Amino acid sequence: MLPEEARLLRFVESNARTVASLYGYREIITPVVETYELLSAKAGEEVKSRMFVFKDLGGRDVALRPEFTASVARLVASTLRAQPKPFRLFCAGTIYRYDEPQRGRYREFWQSNYELMGSSRPEADAEVLLLTDRLMKNSGLKNYAMKIGHVGVLRGIFNQEKFDEKAQNSAMQLMDKKQYEEALNLISESGFPDDGLKTLRELISLRGNNVFDITNCMMKCVSAYEQATKAVENLNDILKMVAESGAKINMTVDAGFARGLEYYTGMICEIFVPEFDIALGGGGRYDRLIELFGGEPTPAVGIAHGMDRMMLALQNQSPPVRIVPESKAGVVIPIQRHLAAKAAQIAETLREENMRVELEIMGRKMTKVLEEADKKKLNFAVLVGEKELESRSVVVRNLLTREQKTARLDEIAETIRQRDEHEAS
């Protein structure tokens, strides 16, 4: 990423970190390389088939992390085991998947990831949706919408009909790719009863943004299935919690929505903007993962946001997001070579005042340096010349207005700041 992109990515990341702290999520830093065994343990076939796996010099099978969740789950199952619950954990960094590269889909990409562990209540699911709303809003994104589903509904029907778990995963994967007919064919080939198939067909056609109407229809549709009915109730409770919290989130409930990762057990969600058909984030509830890593049974819900995609969306929405300007920046130019050390000293005093300062170290002509400073959109230049130094002063130039003013050596920062105030008024 070139400077402008890197700056935008860091803006998205720092915003994610701020949102983490606003909701009490503490940051942890996990390794990029871990054993293949750990990373593949519960990843699901789709993610596993896209992992970068190799042998290290000691002959061990290792891989680049294809998600954060496995590393976090392992930590919670081991080191953090005895700590009081709930845990709220945040991590951000690069993720690696052998996806087909295209716009918004990379083999190395950035995620911000939030995991809330220890609560099975709808409040926890709602919190993850609320913080995602705040993350999107605070980043400056507009018109985003969340798609919400619940894997417990489909699984409830599958389980009651004794549909094999492996086949369930395959069917869910097809549904994740919106290949509903293929999924239904696969289910029907297993000898699934006709009534059950009819229910499934009806269920997956239910979607809309009048969310409570949809959950009502879902409830009627699955009334013969106990587990599935409980799942719809749970979904309804989560949505109610979000609605009653006062957040105005644009949500769609989609009863046929499934996600590629197999470890989800409850609510699942994805976030979209109208500019793209790829998701800016996704997550859900995974109540059994921690025990699969050897920990106490721990209900958990989490979400990961694709920071590269958020960045792309910010660049593509109009008007493009304006990153809050950093503090004033400038350049200090020694007019003659023997003044280089003095110029460095002046630059240091300004940095001491938290100003961003570049020092001219190429001995170029002043006009050349000023031209470049304009291109870089710097705010000020300090010209260190022999004549002014004799009276212990320098020239401070405002690069926006091109005004120049002589300032005493101990008043340079103040002179620059006065200009700020002047510009602000």
Contacts with ligand AMP, residue ranges (CB under 6 A): 67, 97, 99, 104-106, 109, 111, 279-282, 304, 306, 308-309
Shortest reach from residue 319's CB to ligand AMP, in Å: 23
Cβ of residue 50: shortest distance to ligand AMP, in angstroms?
8
Closer CB to ligand AMP, 113 or 393, in the complex: 113
Q: What is the DSSP letter of 280?
A: S
Three-state DSSP class for 396?
strand
CB 248 within 8 A of CB 145: no
Compute the distance between CA of residue 289 and CA of residue 44 in angstroms, rounded to an integer.
12
Nearer to ligand AMP, 95 or 384 (CB): 95
Q: How far is the CB of 206 from ligand AMP (least distance, A)?
A: 23
Distance, CA of 154 to CA of 231 (rounded, Å): 9
Alpha helix stretches (DSSP H) within 140-225: 151-160, 165-176, 180-189, 194-203, 211-221
Closest contact distance (angstroms) between CB of 216 and ligand AMP is 28
Tokens of 259: 């996600």
What are the beta bridge partners of residue 149?
268
With respect to ligand AMP, which residue has the nearer C-beta, 196 or 306?
Answer: 306
Which CB atom, from 161 or from 308, has the smaller least distance to ligand AMP? Answer: 308
163 touches 225 (CB < 8 A): no
Q: In angstroms, what is the minimal distance from the CB of 39 to ligand AMP?
A: 13
For ligand AMP, the closer CB: 99 or 348: 99
Angle at 175 between CA 90 and CA 151, to 5 degrees: 50
Distance of alpha carbon 233 from alpha carbon 422, whole angstroms:
59
CB of 46 to ligand AMP, least distance (A): 9
Q: Is 304 or 343 the residue whose CB approaches ligand AMP more closely?
A: 304
Q: Is 315 within 8 Å of 285 (Cβ atoms)?
A: no
Q: How far is the CB of 11 from ligand AMP (least distance, A)?
A: 17
Closest-CB residue for ligand AMP? Answer: 306
Comparing CB distances to ligand AMP, the nearer of 86 and 281 is 281
Largest CA distance in the chain: 96
Least Cβ distance, residue 382 to ligand AMP (angstroms)? 43
Q: What is the DSSP string of 95-162?
A: EE-----BTTB-SEEEEEEEEEES--SHHHHHHHHHHHHHHHHHHT--S-EEEEEEHHHHHHHHHHTT
Whichever of 12 and 332 has its CB closer to ligand AMP, that residue is 12
